[in-house]
Structure 1
């Protein structure tokens, strides 16, 4: 049975809507489902940010060693690390990139975006031929839109107001609108392939990006059901975020994971992008992504 048929059969078991793109980089075999449909990226948009940062470093516009002071005005909901530290801490651009990817820290992400520019990320994706990838918002802007707020500059009052609001399922974020941060499984899989195959930048930059992606700490999706011999470099994305405001939200969860799986026994590697929406819960989405990854892995290991 083809991988395409296996994945189609698997998706009959879920209530969510999935976009899948899988490609074996050694044999060229591919499978795709809803792969050209737009989905909200959630924190997967941090892969384009990472690529743009390293592009700017190679161009001499940024340096990974540059130190940046993190202040309270940088605070964003969804900071996994930085908001727990004392304000005034100094971190390098590389430190921020690491936190952005491996623990999806939103403060680190938005500080980097202030340095490189949101539109710079979007234009770089277009230069790479990723015409259906749209990056228009920082984390703070995206989260503000989620609850129907204008993304005003930080103040303690504005920050507190965020946590009094309900998620708005009619806003552009949950509609996967081109005015948000959206892409397709095809294009995210392609981006990871270009990064891994040194088609974007030098070997030094490629190794740097892949090292960061390989240190991902959230392992309940692509890696969850894979054997320990398989190595995964990837980035997850989730909306509504883990700090859900309302216990009664009815919005179907957006649950994503995009990366590359390195197989043992000289079987090579495969890229895999799984974007989804309408999951009954984050856990449901995570289980399906894990099963999709395992199905692809077992197929390619035959």
Structure 2
């Protein structure tokens, strides 16, 4: 099993000195070693947010199920439409649990057992602000909030806005738990390169509400992927995503020395999810070490 090599590799790479990890080429070799030591498929996209042009792309155009990473594009669309005067993010909206399949318009409901925000289910039939639902969609990945918000802004609008940000392959087709759509092969999808473009647009202030979005992403509840092996003084604004055999994290990071970068790590076909998560954390640490040692 490849996973038997994983933990020694993470320890070796995390403790390696500058001599072993000088330059992007050596960094890529170390990351590919972690990927090869783990059962599953990975993609990684890393880019410095400075003028150096430094980046590392591995399997960056391979298509992955987007899982909950698609919730960041939904947030971007919400801010965009609010700025255009379509609504205020402080407007109230009814909390419902009835949605229409994109396949045939039949209704379906969310299952509390597979969602991560139980509190909203206790408020069905009551109202919440668009902002509150958006916040819960991001920090705790509420599926119920996501479906309510996608119905409000429109999935096609979300995808078109991503095209405007030069994300050429991402597809936001629908909300969550539309099983008829899933069975028909109609799922949200993305690439690491597209998520890099999207997170960089937020980081560089190229979309409406960028600063507020960074604040929201910084409150992320799930921190066992990109942040796990990093020092606590690293500022991380990120959105995770997971379904069976899939673990993703998409992040904007700022180090105490002022270095900033975007990192996207996607995975699929994981046979050992804990090992896959450790590999992602290890890749993140390798990137951090490289940036720390090569700030300019």
TM-score by length of 1: 0.80
Offset at 1:131?
1.4
Q: Counterpart in 1 of 2:103?
A: none
Does structure 1 residue 301 correspond to structure 2 residue 289?
Answer: no
Partner of 1:213: 217
| Equivalent-residue separation in structure 1 for 2:72 and 2:160 (angstroms) | 14
Aligned residues: 256
Partner of 1:165: none
Where 1:140 maps in the other structure, the secondary structure is coil
Aligned counterpart for 1:48 among listed residues 65, 73, 86 = 73
The one of 193, 197, 203 equivalent to 1:196 is 203
**Paired residues of 2:165 and 2:197 also in contact (CA < 8 A):** no
Pairs within 5 Å for 1:164-179: 172=185, 179=186
The reply to whether residue 231 of structure 1 matches residue 235 of structure 2 is yes
Q: Structure 2 CA distance, aligned partners of 1:69 and 1:47?
A: 22
* Residue aligned with 2:68, SS: helix
CA contact (8 A) 1:188 1:258 kept: yes
Unmatched 5+ stretches in structure 2: 1-21, 100-108
User: Does 2:239 align with 1:280?
Assistant: no
Match of 1:137, SS state, is: coil
Pick the aligned partner of 2:140 from 61, 82, 103.
103
**Deviation string, structure 1 residues 230-249 (Cα, Å, up to 9, x no partner):** 11111111112xxxxxxxxx
Contact 1:113 1:138 in 2 (8 A): yes
Q: Aligned match of 2:58 in 15, 30, 33?
A: 33
Q: Match of 1:135, SS?
A: coil
- 1:76-87 matches, within 5 Å, as 76-77=110-111, 78-81=114-117, 82-87=119-124
1:126-145 equivalent positions in 2, closer than 5 A:
126-141=163-178, 143-145=179-181
Ranges in structure 1 where 5+ consecutive residues have no aligned partner: 149-170, 173-178, 241-252
1:8 is matched with which residue? Answer: 32
Match of 1:290 in 2: 281
Q: CA deviation at 1:83?
A: 4.6
Q: For residues 287 and 29 of structure 1, do their structure 2 counterparts lie closer, same or farther at Cα, with a shift above 3 Å needed?
A: same
Of Structure 1 and Structure 2, the greater helix share is in: 2
Aligned to 1:260, the other structure's residue is in SS state strand
Please name the residue that 2:14 is paired with: none
Take 2:152 and 2:115, find their aligned partners in 1: how far apart are those partners? 18
- Tell me the SS of whatever aligns to 1:107: helix
Shift of 1:105: 0.3
Distance 1:190 1:70 in 2: 32
1:164-211 deviations in whole A, cap 9, x for unaligned? xxxxxxx63xxxxxx42111101101110011101123xxx1111111
Return the alpha-carbon distance in structure 1 between the equivalents of residues 239 and 180 of structure 2.
Answer: 22
Aligned to 1:62: 87
Q: TM-score, normalised by structure 2?
A: 0.82
Q: Secondary structure at the match of 1:264?
A: coil
Aligned alpha-carbon RMSD (Å): 1.6
1:17 corresponds to which residue? 41
